[in-house]
């Protein structure tokens, strides 16, 4: 695997599974280069992460992130195993002075701390900070409320970065709260306050340090690091997170290039005239060229979890591109079933660039919150869901494109659900 674009200077934003991203960074020389890494991954609370779209008056999700949230909630062993792999990988990126800042909540925090002790060594546990994220209890279960989250600080070695003559409190109630974001608010559901990130950066780094955020969400750490003159590399596997981060950095006058990992053609993915990806690494021109040579230009159906937007620049009618999606049923998606649906196709019309969406209602259905977890039950109201889909369809009225960015040789289209497409000028 390799990154596309291959070369980046200074700061970098990466879209994709952070385990692959971290491994890719190590392959290009970033092993033991980071001064601090901030992990603010899923809390496994069963709460489905979404971004509120004011235009559609609806909460938008990434289909596979929603599916993973629900699956992890019912299979905590999968959640913890996947997290451990990423903790181990992050340790490899830290230099000998480096510090991992691990942000979590009480549901899984004690399990994850045991994993952190195993990976970093309990002797490298530096301390726990309690962040008071709300004035009153937000999550309530009988008389037990919750309005705090935890940050675990771990060093890689005994030579970790130290501030002279400074001692920080272990309870932070002065660094902002979720409900008081004010002008900072991007409407990304898990957005952290800038003051919180400022405190973390102040106590773990100096100017010029390289920091990483591999669950970047709304991009608060990168945004704050930029203003505090730290170098940064960030990633997320959510298109909505990447889109939010790019938009946020633009307010600082920074045009961020988004990098993705890509694979070469893999013959084991080919069955007859269908090429079905086994990984969630996007289908790219690399695979297209190999597949084209293998099949001698005959017709082929590609099934992939994601595509790089460069494939939209191709002029090849023999290829059909489909997206692998988690199937939505009346029983919800507690146990994931895969289905393939046509990928939208950009085209130029008399009214400008448009997206051709084969089945609009089905396309909308895959990108909104479907239900909610209540205790041990996944609640899905099919009638209400269908009504929401119909309402969104009327609001969109075939205007699927959210905005367009112009580059030297092409236009980049971003649709209402955060997908990227490229069209030639």
The tens digit of pLDDT for each residue in 107-143 reads: 999 999 999 999 999 999 999 999 999 999 887 777 8
Q: Where are the beta strands (DSSP E) in 195-230?
A: 210-213
pLDDT score of 312: 92
**DSSP for residue 267:** G
In percent, the amount of the chain with pLDDT more than 90 equals: 73
Sequence ranges of the domains in the chain: 2-260, 263-326, 345-425
Q: Higher confidence at residue 347 or residue 126?
A: 126
The full DSSP string for 47-81 is PPP-EEETTTTEEE--HHHHHHHHHHHH-HHHHHH
Peptide bond into 312 cis (omega under 30): no
Tens digits of residue pLDDT in 13-28: 999 999 999 999 999 9
Distance, CA of 127 to CA of 150 (rounded, Å): 10
Q: How buried is residue 172: exposed, middle or buried, by Cβ count under 10 Å (0-12/13-18/19+)?
A: buried
Highest CATH level, class, for 2-260: alpha beta
Q: Across residues 354-383, what is the average pLDDT?
A: 88
Residue 328, pLDDT score: 63
**pLDDT value of residue 331:** 54
Quick one: CA torsion of 95, 92, 172, 134, rounded to 10 degrees? 150
Residue 87 has pLDDT above 60, yes or no: yes
Confidence of residue 86 (pLDDT cuts 50, 70, 90): very high
Q: Model confidence over 256-301: pLDDT tens digits?
A: 999 999 999 999 999 999 999 999 999 999 899 999 889 887 889 9
Digit-coded pLDDT (tens) for 139-169: 777 788 999 999 999 999 999 999 999 999 9
Q: Are 294 and 316 in contact (CB under 8 A)?
A: no
pLDDT band of 174, cuts 50, 70, 90:
very high
- The answer to whether the Cα torsion of 320, 68, 242, 183 is positive or negative is positive
Between CA 41 and CA 181 the distance in angstroms is 20
Quote the CA–CA distance of 311 and 299 in Å, as a whole number: 16
Percentage, residues of the chain above pLDDT 70? 98
CA–CA dist 308, 92 (Å, integer): 28
Q: Looking at the DSSP assignment, which residues form a beta bridge with residue 14?
A: 235, 259
Do 13 and 256 contact (CB within 8 A), yes or no?
Answer: yes
User: What whole-number distance in Å separates Cα of residue 204 and Cα of residue 168?
Assistant: 11
Cβ-based neighbour number of residue 31 at 10 Å = 14
| pLDDT tens, residue by residue, 223-253 | 999 999 999 999 999 988 998 999 999 999 9
Cβ proximity of 216 and 234 under 8 Å: yes
The model carries a pTM of 0.90
Q: What is the pLDDT of residue 84?
A: 98
**What was the pLDDT predicted at 99?**
98
Q: Which helix (H) or strand (E) segment is 396 a member of? A: helix 382-396
Confidence label for 337 from pLDDT (cuts 50, 70 and 90): confident
């Amino acid at each position: 695997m390799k990154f596309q674009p291959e070369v980046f200077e200074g700061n970098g934003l990466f879209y994709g599974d952070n385990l692959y991203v971290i491994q890719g960074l190590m392959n290009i020389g970033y092993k033991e280069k980071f001064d601090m890494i901030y992990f603010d991954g899923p809390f496994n609370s069963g709460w489905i992460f979404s971004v509120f779209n004011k235009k559609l008056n609806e909460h938008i999700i990434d289909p596979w992130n929603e599916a993973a949230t629900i699956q992890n909630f019912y299979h905590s062993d999968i959640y913890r195993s996947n997290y451990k792999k990423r903790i181990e990988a992050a340790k490899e990126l830290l230099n000998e002075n480096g510090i991992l800042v691990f942000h979590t909540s009480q549901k899984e925090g004690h399990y994850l701390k045991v994993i952190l002790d195993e990976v970093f060594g309990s002797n490298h546990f530096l301390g726990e900070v309690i962040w008071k994220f709300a004035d009153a209890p937000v999550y309530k279960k009988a008389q037990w409320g919750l309005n705090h989250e935890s940050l675990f600080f771990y060093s890689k070695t005994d030579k970790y970065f130290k501030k002279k003559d400074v001692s920080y409190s272990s309870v932070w109630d002065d660094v902002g709260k979720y409900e008081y974001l004010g002008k900072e608010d991007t409407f990304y559901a898990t957005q952290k306050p800038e003051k919180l990130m400022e405190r973390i950066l102040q106590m773990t780094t100096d100017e010029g340090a390289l920091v990483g955020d591999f669950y970047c969400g709304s991009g608060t750490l990168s945004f704050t690091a930029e203003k505090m003159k730290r170098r940064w590399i960030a990633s997320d596997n959510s298109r909505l997170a990447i889109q939010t981060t790019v938009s946020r950095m633009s307010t600082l006058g920074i045009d961020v290039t988004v990098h993705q990992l890509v694979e070469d053609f893999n013959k084991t993915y080919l069955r007859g005239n269908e090429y079905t990806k086994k990984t969630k690494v996007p289908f790219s021109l690399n695979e297209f060229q190999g597949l084209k040579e293998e099949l001698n230009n005959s017709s082929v159906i590609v099934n992939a979890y994601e595509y790089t937007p460069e494939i939209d620049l191709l002029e090849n009618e023999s290829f059909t591109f489909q997206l692998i999606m988690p199937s939505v049923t009346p029983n919800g998606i507690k146990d994931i079933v895969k289905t393939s649906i046509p990928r939208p196709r950009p085209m130029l019309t008399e009214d400008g660039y448009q997206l051709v969406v084969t089945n609009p209602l089905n396309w909308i259905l895959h990108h909104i919150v479907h239900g909610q977890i209540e205790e041990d039950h996944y609640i899905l109201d099919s009638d209400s869901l269908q009504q929401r889909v119909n309402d969104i369809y009327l609001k969109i009225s075939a205007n699927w494109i959210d905005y367009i960015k112009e580059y030297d040789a092409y236009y980049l289209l971003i649709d209402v659900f955060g997908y990227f497409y490229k069209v030639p000028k």
